[in-house]
Structure 1
């Protein structure tokens, strides 16, 4: 039986004391500073970039000469170098969308520390709800046990843990376990092909006539609290002296705002995981639009010489698109359908919402909000606009610009039409 390597990540919340939080915060700041020092050392040279050996020698010298560099474990420092070199490799890769590596700002970068070697973790399960893990220079720490980890629990899934990464979110520190398993190669998915139209009024509209919708991510009371905190932060910013650090009261207000927004994001990710899992189990081929979301959410402000129009309306639309996280939905669908022997196909986006799926007549006037009425007298089809677009997306699979997943003999298409399903 053919087997494949399946690499996944599992996130768990850490239960830290105040002293342990301070230690991890210091390690994260040291890791960010090391990244900036590496970037300065590599880019401020004449003629060529520094090699890995030169960077490693510089890191070892810095750890001997700079006291605060000792806060960061040696293996974590090497992980920073590895990540930095990979960032340059991604930038030079023509097929990778990564931008040129830059300096990391103190308040606009996510604090994180790598634990690259799994043997240092010594993971054990304490009870039904909690586990324990060793963290370098932090000690023994409890974490929330929500699922069995490969190779850790007796009778659990086979596999191993290859390392971990500590990440600070708005609600505290989390540990991300990197797991690896050998699983049988999936057979071809027997499900049908479906087109999915991603929208704002309707989150996901399917070509079979069904929809996947969700409610607001925050309850009414939480929305009111968030609004009060945003007004409070605006008042506190008015009394702030330019160039001076933010006051502790303003920092606390920012933390409360961040926790509420993190709550909304967790609920959104949970809904996306449940919905994409259900879709991956049901359908063999999932067809979506190839959207350039970064261009869609660009500001309409314009310039002084050429100011934009309907700037506030465009800003509201941008927030709505960003809140739906269309890109994350497709990312989740890609690996979940691949695990089940399915395929995700991306097709060109223009015209799918303005074309009648029955007769093929295209007219922008045919769509009015969520209502689509074909203006072709010989057709006259009327129905939900998003369902019509989803059917057009499904029918456009023959003109795909990319395909990711597994179908039949584990084929994958990229920038070329896939073979018929």
Structure 2
């Protein structure tokens, strides 16, 4: 079995190397925007958009006298990879399955945007369409393939092309596998290097035999079916006051002035810091759970729908808008979707199994007698069955139901795959995966 894994480290280039790297990522961003404008023209003329058609247009850009800097301040391989990323974005836009998933998520309608073509006509920028990149976003990257041909690693330094030379990076762990590509990224003024590796291993067998159900929440990030609880980190909430102060200062500055750009970079660094805290915390807890349990059952939550605004419309105003806004911030601060994705690929690496079940009725079902009633959930923390009078913590009871539903999905009784009933029949609680 092949495993693809990326190792990301902090890159520490000197001043001269930063100048070259800024030129490379700037050229890649410029080519993306130019190719995107061309692809909008192709889209308006009903021409076929794919990677081959777009890559062939790179030489036309380089031969343009106005774009002479592309010959001396860019890397041909990174430009091709950037254009291939653009083609992948267009293929995602043309995929009907992606649009079907988008319709399921009830997003608030935003103001329509248009792009003006060369002949003066305008086309509407639809959802999932690629967007133009801006330098002020503070996020740029380039990718180099054929690592052995253009790059090499010497201890804690990496050799990069285009006269960059050896650049120091913080090698916090060993890089295992064959390096296929390297990505240089700049986010909030900080450089990073990511090595995409591939290695061949035998089909792994998970060392553990236990199964666990996980209920995701806000006051308790994780409640497990064996009675354990993990507290949330709430990185955004802890930095919210400082972030709001910086944003108020930004609103009083002239748009796109030097002071505005300095203040905007401070805000970007805070957002980057918040994301790093959340990412690090989720990695630690998901690694621990994945190593200790062969089967993990989680709810297939639609976070987009759960965090939808309650403001309503101009005709029909919403209710409890402020309270719902605070709840939405707490939901998005947890990173549930990222956590489930981490558990999924880590279980794949360990040889374990991750099952996503329908979340309906998991909080209303009694884990003892399987009686379903809305009245069972007396409060946010208390569960008391109206039929058998079973009393337990509501999150713990839901986690046990999630585990039982996961076993039911694997069994013949509950069905396997799509089309299973909303009210999943449980087949008894088992603590071991069979």
Match of 2:316? Answer: 306
Is the counterpart of residue 330 in structure 1 residue 359 in structure 2? no
Match of 2:418? Answer: 415
Residues 177, 374 of structure 1: alpha-carbon distance in 2 compared, 3 angstrom cutoff = same
Secondary structure of 2:168's match? strand
The question of whether the paired residues in 2 share the 8 Å contact of 1:194 and 1:287 is answered with yes
Is the counterpart of residue 117 in structure 1 residue 146 in structure 2? yes
C-alpha distance in structure 2 between counterparts of 1:287 and 1:54, whole Å = 44
Secondary structure of 1:142's match? strand
Residues 88-118 of structure 1 deviation map (CA, whole Å, 9 limit, x = unaligned): 3334445556863322241447311111220
Residues 116-138 of structure 1 deviation map (CA, whole Å, 9 limit, x = unaligned): 2202121110xxxx333324353
Secondary structure of 1:352's match? coil
What TM-score results when the alignment is normalised by the length of structure 1? 0.83
Q: CA deviation at 1:228?
A: 4.4
Of 366-375 and 383-392, the range deviating more from structure 2: 366-375
Show the 5 A alignment for 1:121-132.
121-125=151-155, 130-132=156-158
C-alpha distance in structure 1 between counterparts of 2:261 and 2:138, whole Å = 16
Secondary structure of 2:332's match? helix
C-alpha distance in structure 1 between counterparts of 2:284 and 2:152, whole Å = 31
The question of whether the paired residues in 1 share the 8 Å contact of 2:364 and 2:376 is answered with yes
Residues 175-201 of structure 1 deviation map (CA, whole Å, 9 limit, x = unaligned): 111011111211255422211011100
Q: CA deviation at 1:227?
A: 2.7
Q: CA deviation at 1:75?
A: 0.4
Residues 135, 384 of structure 1: alpha-carbon distance in 2 compared, 3 angstrom cutoff = farther
Show the 5 A alignment for 1:9-408.
9-45=6-42, 46-65=45-64, 66-70=67-71, 71-96=73-98, 100-106=128-134, 107-108=136-137, 110-119=139-148, 120-125=150-155, 130-150=156-176, 159-170=177-188, 172-187=190-205, 190-217=208-235, 223=239, 227-228=241-242, 230-240=244-254, 244-245=255-256, 247-376=257-386, 378-398=387-407, 400=409
**Unaligned residue ranges in structure 1 (runs of 5+):** 151-158, 402-412
Residues 39, 124 of structure 1: alpha-carbon distance in 2 compared, 3 angstrom cutoff = same
Match of 1:404? Answer: none
Q: CA deviation at 1:358?
A: 1.5
Q: CA deviation at 1:392?
A: 1.0
Question: How many residues in Structure 1 have an aligned counterpart in Structure 2?
Answer: 386
Q: CA deviation at 1:416?
A: 6.6
Q: CA deviation at 1:40?
A: 2.3
Match of 1:155? Answer: none
Residues 309-356 of structure 1 deviation map (CA, whole Å, 9 limit, x = unaligned): 222211111111111100111111111111121110011011111222
Residues 260-279 of structure 1 deviation map (CA, whole Å, 9 limit, x = unaligned): 33223222222211211111
The question of whether the paired residues in 1 share the 8 Å contact of 2:13 and 2:167 is answered with yes
Q: CA deviation at 1:237?
A: 1.6
Residues 415, 238 of structure 1: alpha-carbon distance in 2 compared, 3 angstrom cutoff = same
The question of whether the paired residues in 2 share the 8 Å contact of 1:73 and 1:137 is answered with no
Q: CA deviation at 1:368?
A: 4.6
C-alpha distance in structure 2 between counterparts of 1:233 and 1:190, whole Å = 48
The question of whether the paired residues in 2 share the 8 Å contact of 1:41 and 1:50 is answered with no
C-alpha distance in structure 2 between counterparts of 1:283 and 1:327, whole Å = 20
Secondary structure of 1:349's match? coil
Residues 188, 69 of structure 1: alpha-carbon distance in 2 compared, 3 angstrom cutoff = same
Secondary structure of 1:111's match? strand
Of 198-207 and 303-312, the range deviating more from structure 2: 303-312
The question of whether the paired residues in 2 share the 8 Å contact of 1:230 and 1:257 is answered with no
Secondary structure of 1:35's match? helix
